[in-house]
Structure 1
Amino acid sequence: MRKPLLVTDFLDRARRLYGEKEAVVATDGERFTYGELGERVDALSAALEARGVEQGDRVAVLDPNTHYQLETAYATMQLGGVHTPLNYRLTPDDFAYILEDAGVKAVVADYEYAEKVEAVRDEVPTEIFICNDADAVDGDWEDFEAVLDESDGEYDRPEMDEDDVVTINYTSGTTGDPKGVMRTHRNETLHAYLITIHQDIADDDIYLWTLPMFHVNGWGHIYAITGMGATHVCARGVDPAYVFDAIQTEDVSYFCGAPTVLNILSNYYEEHEPVVTGENDVRVATAGAAPPEATLRLVEDEFGWYLKHVYGATETGPLITTSDFRRFFDDEDDARFAVKKRQGLGFLGTEIRVVDEDGEEVPRDDATVGEVVVRGNQVMEGYWNKPEATEEAFSERLEGFYHMGDLATVDEDGMIAIRDRKKDIIISGGENISSIELEDTLFDHPAVAAVAVIPSPSEQWGETPKAFIVPENGDPENPGVDPEELTAFTREHLASYKVVRRFKFVEELPTTATGKIQKYELRQQEWDDEEDMVGQG
């Protein structure tokens, strides 16, 4: 039997099996069962349909992690529409580009961010504007609750195919304009199945939304948590006091946090010593570059949380690997941190390779560097209206695999470890230097709270490492450590050609909404007066 894989099945299942169970804890404390959530979603579907939204139309949502984001996503998808979540950190010009590029028909925006859309309203094709607090914003916006109150909840759900595009997620646009990543019902459904397995998601989970829902549909958690009948605890941002309070009072069992989020929580804990668990054990997923080992030790040994390290990209679902394969480490052995810092092995049904410039797999010596490529059912359909970019992404080194742009090694067990982004590798005097290795080293210095290392122009070497450091005391004018001391520290721990001699102390590092450091901003500042970059970063 073949049953189409449709994302609408996730909420349908939760309503059918968990209708009386708690689905959502809103940011204001209001609570909804899955039955109530479903009724609100139906009402919004009917309202959007009455306003002209049809199958295939794009509906954008600009919202922090509130129940309005969840409701808009499912209401759009029930109509056969294309859910288009927006990064609330972007500028009005960014929104103008995305709304025009995607041909967005309707926007549902949070009151805190609606003004960014209002500023470009006359420049975009969008016809429908809904806000969760229309009285709080300027312009002609319909109020979300009023729209629901006026709706009878009756709508026509069209026949859908699993290969229909159901979401468009725009990348950060670090090079050129943002690209719209198209994902189908099949992509999203199979990815949700995979994270349900590899993240151990169960119906009694209580999930705290510290990860932006807009970010690749919250790593697929808008589907997996819903489909399993677990509970969503919403949060408008990463406020450490709120996070620790929610973990305790709501008995949170699971959340996601980038390394910078874990650092924020660690710093708050060291100053305030909050309660770190409720009645449930806590597990936390972190992604991308691994947190420093000191953070891992604090999270696991002192907080008592179980940490899972995962890896991926917007184009890949996002998640494609994890280091959480229990036969490769012992929970009681400190050696487990060396495994957990790796990006690990591929998810079920996911083919991961690390290949050289000829597309050949590198040896499992944990030394030879190649680019990570992936093939799997969770990988995107392609880029919206960008066939050339799609072709390049799937063919540069190895035909038919998506090219991640990350450089990695592979150990004897087949576990990958990211050494750097292709654009972040530092080529100094012909030698390749991993910025991640330098950052890990500098972070071990007690005066360093956060660090980003980029290539800096050098007449002698072409490029040389430069570290942007947030000092532990928070004062870049008097950081409590001088560059000479930090240079000596790196000399103690690194090969001579990797020693860092250039530093800049800053109050904060530029980050994305998910907490990833935006090195491209630092590179642009550093290379602004240069004609070219050695490593083309």
Structure 2
Amino acid sequence: MKQPLLTTDFLDRAVNLFGDDIGIVADDGTEFTYNEVGERVDRLSNALRERGVEKGNRVALLSKNSHYFIETLYATMQLGAVFVPLNFRLQPEEYDYLVDDCDPAVFITDNEHAEKVSHLRGDNDTDEWIAYDADEVDGQWDDYERVLEETSSESPERPDISEDDDATILYTSGTTGDPKGVVHTHRSQHYHAMIHSHHVEFEDDDVLLWTSPMFHLNGWGHIYGLTGVGGKHVVVRDFDPATVFERVNEYDVSFMGGAPTVLNLLLEHNENHDIRTSGVNPVRVETAASPPPKRTIRLTEEELGWRIIHAYGSTETGPLVATSNSRRRMQNGDKYDIINKPGFATLNTEIRVVDRDGNDVPLDDQTKGEVIVRGNQVLDRYWNKPAMTEEVFNDRVEGWFHTGDIATMDENKMISIVDRKKDIIISGGENISTIEVQNVIYEHPDVRLAAVIGVPHEKWGETPKALVVTQDGSNLTENDLIEFTRERLAHYKCPTSVEFRDELPQTSTGKIQKFELRDEYWGNEEENVN
């Protein structure tokens, strides 16, 4: 018997089996049972349908972590429409391309970010605009709660949804040109949630604290997985170490996500305050983005008493395709060495590390190659980018997704990321395209040559640094150039330092040799993964 794998299965199961149990604790402490969540989702689905949303249409959401985020995801998907969560950290003009590209039928936003997209109203085909608290936003917006109150709570008739239908578009930073819309189907998201739930050991008594942004890969799939097992979501709108520890103890949190930057901030807070680091439940924390330093891993486990699960993946791969969560491997080797590795392939996932000719590298943990992946959780395609889709699935080996990450593989088939083919900086868990930042720097008339690289940063792991050759006679200063970029880019993307030089190392064809520049700052440090 074959049943379609749909994202809606997870909330359906939670309502059916755990309807009277608390499913979500909102940021303000309001509690919703899964029955109440299901009713609110149905009301929003009916409201979206009344506003013209049909199967295949896009619904965009610009929001920090909230219960509204979870509701909008399920309300959109049970209509067969496509959910498009946007990064709330962008500058207003950076939304122009995204909205034009996905062409949403309805746009929903929280109050804090409504102004960022207000300039788009009337300039595109999106006619319906909803804000969480419309009375607090300038202009005419439909109010989210009033929309729900005025709409039927009856379960909407669902269209015929195939597991191969588009479920979500997730925008990721482009290394060249415009951002890429990563399309995941119901099947890929469902399959990923099942795999991920297994490897992070979800059970129905788990309590998840939302310390990671939900817009990142739909919360790494936990909006599906934890919901499906009947666990409890505890929402934190803004990350704050003191609040995290308060919620951990108040709600007996057992699981959370935490990029290395987040872990370091929590460790620093714990060192400076006399606090309890856990409630009744033991805490496990999933870390990803960039490999955490061994010191961070050790202190998290020894000082906080939390168990770290290290995962690896990307927006295109579900995200999870590898993990080092292996009791067997840890028993037979250095525990922190094992945790530090991105790990081996997850269930029903294939990972290879191949050379330029597509041949597997030796399992010596020394020979470098590109990580390629094959699995049911991998993206379907890039939205409106067929040529790019073709390339990423067929660069070195036909039919495999090419991650762009350079790695080694050991005798246990555990990978270690040592480089990134794409010029991406991961700062505090956020992906930053150096090409995008360089393009903005080159807009300044005093800049003749520029390169942006990631350099070590105690708090963020790495941070953008600009190396610049100016035009003759220029009086450009570091502060001037940083401010110039901050007026044109999300602030987290902007250089935190600028160094002016007489020249930059180049190849005979004029390509700047960034590896030489990076070596000046990283040397042989393990964190140098650019």
Structure 1 length-normalised TM: 0.81
Could you tell me how far apart the structure 2 residues matched to 1:172 and 1:519 are?
11
Q: Evaluate the alpha carbon distance shift between residue 117 and residue 228 of structure 1 in structure 2; reply closer, same or farther with a 3 A threshold.
A: same
Which residue is equivalent to 1:533?
512
Match of 1:125 in 2: 125
Equivalent residues in 2 for 1:106-505 (5 A)? 106-154=106-154, 155-330=156-331, 335-423=334-422, 468=455, 470=457
Q: Which amino acid aligns with 2:301?
A: E
- Return the letter of the residue paired with 2:176: T
SS of the residue corresponding to residue 173 of structure 1 reads coil
Distance change >3 Å, CA 395–CA 527, structure 1 → 2: farther
Which digits, 9 at most, give the CA deviation of each residue in 1:486-518, with x for residues without a partner?
Answer: xxxxxxxxxxxxxxxxxx99xx9xxxxxxxx97
- Distance verdict in 2 for CA 1:18–1:526, change over 3 Å: farther
Q: Is the 8 A contact 1:423 1:535 kept in 2?
A: no
Q: Residue 363 of structure 2 aligns to which amino acid in structure 1?
A: R
Query: Which 10-residue stretch deviates more, 66-75 or 94-103?
Result: 94-103
**C-alpha displacement at 1:535, in angstroms?**
4.7
Question: How many Å apart are 1:288 and its aligned residue?
Answer: 3.4
> Segments of 4+ in structure 1 off by > 6 A?
463-467, 517-520, 522-529
Q: CA deviation digits over 1:181-228, x for unaligned, max 9? A: 010010000000001110101110000111111111111111001111
Structure 2 Cα separation of the partners of residues 6 and 527 of structure 1 = 55
- CA distance in 2 between counterparts of 1:129 and 1:166 reads 21
Cα RMSD of the aligned pairs, angstroms, is: 2.9
Q: Distance in 1 between matches of 2:409 and 2:29?
A: 46
* In structure 1, distance between residues paired with 2:276 and 2:137: 38
Return the offset for 1:380: 0.3
Correspondence 1:54 to 2:33: no
What secondary structure is seen at the aligned counterpart in 2 of 1:113? helix
% identity of equivalent residues: 50
Q: Matched residues in 1 for 2:184 and 2:458: separation? A: 41
State the distance in 2 between where 1:213 and 1:63 align: 9
1-side partners of 2:115 and 2:492: how far apart? 25
Q: State the alpha-carbon separation in 2 of the partners of residues 524 and 399 from structure 1.
A: 41
Cα separation, partners in 2 of 1:527 and 1:138, compared to 1, 3 Å = farther
Alignment CA distance shift 1:142-1:465 (3 Å): closer
* Distance in 2 of aligned mates of 1:3 and 1:528: 64
1:21 partnered with 2:21: yes
Change (3 A) 1:339 1:523: farther
The residue identity in structure 2 corresponding to 1:366 is D
In the TM superposition, residue 16 of structure 1 has moved relative to its aligned partner by: 0.4
Q: Is the 8 A contact 1:527 1:533 kept in 2?
A: no
How far apart, CA to CA, are the structure 2 residues paired with 1:203 and 1:91?
A: 39
**Residue matched to 1:477:** none
How much has 1:241 moved relative to structure 2? Answer: 0.7
1:343 to partner: Cα distance: 0.7
Secondary structure at the counterpart of residue 275 of structure 1: coil
Q: Partner residue of 1:514?
A: none
- SS in structure 1 opposite 2:117? helix
Instruction: State the one-letter code of the partner of 1:108.
Output: I
- Paired residue secondary structure (1:243): helix
Q: Higher mean Cα deviation, 294-303 or 30-39?
A: 294-303
Contact 1:311 1:319 in 2 (8 A): yes
Post-superposition Cα deviations, 1:21-73, rounded to whole Å, max 9, x if no partner, equal 00000001100000000000000011111111111110011111100000011
Structure 1 residues 290 and 470: CA distance shift in structure 2, 3 A: closer
- Tell me the number of residue pairs that the alignment of Structure 1 and Structure 2 aligns: 464
Shift of 1:302: 1.5
Offset at residue 173 of structure 1 (A): 2.9
In the alignment, the residues of structure 1 paired with residue 229 and residue 502 of structure 2 have an alpha-carbon distance, to the nearest angstrom, of 50
Counterpart AA for 1:341 = N
**2:105 maps to which residue?**
105
- CA-CA distance at 1:359 after TM superposition: 0.5
After superposition, the C-alpha distances for 1:215-265 in whole angstroms (9 at most, x for unaligned) are 111111110011111000001121111111111111000000111111111
Shift of 1:526: 7.8
In 1, Cα distance between equivalents of 2:316 and 2:151:
36
Which whole-Å CA distance do the structure 1 matches of 2:137 and 2:389 have between them? 38
Q: Which secondary structure state, in structure 2, belongs to the residue aligned with residue 408 of structure 1?
A: strand
Any gaps of 5 or more consecutive residues in structure 2?
439-449, 460-477, 483-490, 505-509, 516-529
Conserved in 1, the CA contact under 8 Å of 2:175 and 2:423? no
Question: Residue 28 and residue 174 in structure 1: after superposition, are their counterparts in 2 closer, same or farther (change >3 A)?
Answer: farther
Offset, 1:140: 1.2
1:121 offset after TM fit, Å?
1.8
Using the alignment, how far apart are the partners of 1:140 and 1:153 within structure 2?
25
Which residue of 2 is the match for residue 442 of structure 1? Answer: none
Tell me if structure 1 keeps the 8 A contact 2:453–2:514. no
- Scaled by the length of structure 2, the TM-score of the pair is 0.82
CA distance in 2, matches of 1:523, 1:363: 40
Give me the whole-angstrom Cα distance separating, in 2, the residues matched to 1:372 and 1:528.
37
Deviations 1:324-370 (A, max 9, x none): 11111139x8x200111101100011000000000101001111000
Shifted more, 88-97 versus 205-214: the winner is 88-97
How far residue 464 of structure 1 moved from its aligned partner, in angstroms, is 12
CA offset at residue 124 of structure 1?
2.5
What is the one-letter code of the residue matched to 1:140?
Q
Deviation digits for residues 110-138 of structure 1 (CA, Å, limit 9, x no counterpart): 11111111122232321111111111111
1:187–1:317: 8 Å Cα contact kept in structure 2? yes
Partner SS for 1:123:
coil
Asked if the contact 2:451–2:514 (Cα under 8 Å) also holds between the matched residues in 1, the reply is no
